[in-house]
Chains A and B, each alone.
Chain A
Amino acid sequence: MPKQVILGAHFPGVNNTTVWSDPRSGSHIEFESFRRFAQAAERGRFDFLFLAEGLALREQRGHIHDLDVVGRPDTLPVLAALAGVTEHLGLVGTINATFNEPYELARQFATLDLLSQGRAGWNVVTSSDAFTGANFRRGGYLPREQRYARAQSQVTANRHLWDSWGQDAVVADREAGRFTDGPAGEFAYASEFFDIHGTFNTPRPPQGHPVIFQAGDSEDGREFAARTADAIFTGHGSGDDGRAFYRDIKRRLACYGRRPEDLKILPAATFIVGGTDDEAHRISDEVRRQQVSGQTALLILERIWNRDLRDYDPDGPLPDIEPETQPGTLIQGRVQHVKDPAAEVARLRELARDKNLSLREVAIEISARQNFVGSPETIADALIDAVETGVSDGYILVPHITPGGLDDFVDQVVPILTERGALRSEYAEGSTLRDHLALGAARPATDWEAGSAAGQADLSGHESASHDLPSHDLTEQKESA
Chain B
Amino acid sequence: MTSSLSPIHLAIALDGTGWHPGSWRQPHSRAAEVFSGAYWTDLAREAEHGLVDFVTIEDSFTVQGASPLDPTPVPGGGRLRGRLDASLLASFVATRTEHIGLVPTITTTHTEPFHVSKNLATLDHVSNGRGGWRVQVSGRPGEAEHFGRRRIPGFFDPEASSEEKSARVNELFDEAADVVEVVRQLWDSWEDGAEIRDSATGRFIDRDKLHYIDFEGDFFSVRGPSITPRPPQGQPVVTALGHATIPYELAARGADVLFVTPHDDDSAARILGEVRDAEARVRADETPLLVFADLEVVLDTPEASGAQRLTALDEAAGQEFASDALIVTGSVTELAALIGRWQALGYGGFRLRPAEHAVDLPLITGSLVPLLQEAGAFRTAYDQTTLRDRLGLPLAANRHATAS
Contacts and interface: CB of A to CB of B under 8 A. Distances in A.
Most interface-central of B77, B143, B149 (chain A CB within 10 A): B77
A180 B81 contact: yes
Contacts of A177: 25, 78, 316, 318
A142 to B, nearest CB: 14
A31 B128 CA distance: 9
Interface string B67-87: 000000100011111111101
A165 B77 CA distance: 12
20 contacts: A63-B207, A64-B205, A66-B207, A71-B195, A73-B121, A73-B125, A74-B115, A78-B91, A83-B92, A99-B115, A101-B147, A111-B85, A114-B35, A115-B88, A172-B31, A178-B78, A180-B82, A197-B148, A198-B62, A202-B35
A56 B63 CA distance: 33
Nearest to A67: B202
B220 interface: yes
A77 B88 contact: yes
Contact of B35 (A84, A108, A116, A203): A203
Nearest to B111: A104
Nearest to A31: B126
Interface in A347-405: none
A170 B33 CA distance: 10
B24 interface: yes
B60 to A, nearest CB: 7
Nearest to B30: A172
Contacts of A54: 227
Contacts of A267: none
Given A77-B126, A101-B110, A103-B146, A67 B204 contact: yes
A203 B34 CA distance: 11
Contacts of B24: 172, 174, 179
A136 B112 contact: yes
Nearest to A131: B223
Contact of A80 (B81, B89, B148): B89
Interface in A60-115: 63-64, 66-74, 76-78, 80-81, 83-85, 99-101, 103-104, 107-108, 111-112, 114-115
Interface in A130-163: 134-137, 139
A184 B82 contact: yes
A135 B88 contact: no
Interface string B342-363: 0000000000000000000000
A81 B95 contact: yes
A196 B146 CA distance: 5
Interface string B212-229: 000000011111110111
Interface string A21-51: 1000000011100010000000000000000
A410 interface: no
B202 A293 contact: yes
A103 B84 CA distance: 13
B77 A178 contact: yes
A115 B227 contact: no
Contacts of A107: 83-85
A57 B79 contact: no
Interface string A166-177: 000011101001
Contact of B37 (A55, A84, A194): A84
Contacts of A295: 201-202
Interface in A260-301: 293-296
B228 A170 contact: no
Given A77-B122, A202-B84, A71 B227 contact: yes
B61 A201 contact: yes
Interface in B125-180: 125-126, 128, 142-143, 145-149
A228 B31 CA distance: 35
A256 interface: no
Contacts of A115: 36-37, 84, 88-89, 92
B122 A202 contact: no
Contacts, number: 224
A178 B318 CA distance: 13
Interface string B279-323: 000000000000000000000000000000000000010100000
B26 interface: yes
B399 to A, nearest CB: 19
B145 A57 contact: no
In this complex, which of A81, A107, A202, A203 has the most chain B Cβ atoms within 10 angstroms of its Cβ? A81
The interface centre, meaning the residue of B91, B111, B118 with most chain A CB atoms within 10 A of its CB, is B91
B81 A179 contact: yes
A268 to B, nearest CB: 21
A71 B25 contact: no
Given A99-B112, A114-B84, 5 more contacts: A71-B195, A84-B95, A112-B88, A137-B112, A195-B148
B203 interface: yes
Contacts of B114: 55, 135-136
A199 B73 contact: yes
B78 A185 contact: no
Give the 9 A-B CB pairs with smallest separation, nearest first: A84-B95, A134-B223, A80-B88, A172-B32, A77-B91, A180-B77, A111-B85, A74-B122, A172-B31
Contacts of B400: none
Contacts of B148: 194-197
B227 to A, nearest CB: 5
A20 interface: yes
A104 B110 contact: yes
B92 A196 contact: no
Contacts of B35: 114, 170, 202-203
A187 to B, nearest CB: 9
A181 interface: yes
A201 B78 contact: no
B187 interface: no
A135 B93 CA distance: 29
B147 A185 contact: no
B190 interface: yes
B84 A111 contact: yes
Nearest to A68: B204
Given A77-B87, A80-B88, A103-B146, A201 B31 contact: no
A84 B96 contact: yes
B365 interface: no
Contacts of B221: 134, 139
A78 B122 contact: yes
A84 to B, nearest CB: 3
A295 B318 CA distance: 71
Contact of A31 (B60, B125, B149, B228): B125
Contact of B81 (A67, A74, A185): A185
Given A77-B87, A184-B81, A196-B145, A103 B204 contact: no
A69 B204 contact: yes
Contacts of A195: 148
A431 to B, nearest CB: 17
A69 B25 CA distance: 52
B400 to A, nearest CB: 14
B199 A21 contact: yes
Contact of B83 (A64, A78, A174, A202): A202
A80 B88 CA distance: 6
Interface in B1-33: 24-27, 29, 31-32
Nearest to B119: A74
B278 to A, nearest CB: 28
A401 to B, nearest CB: 14
Nearest to B182: A135
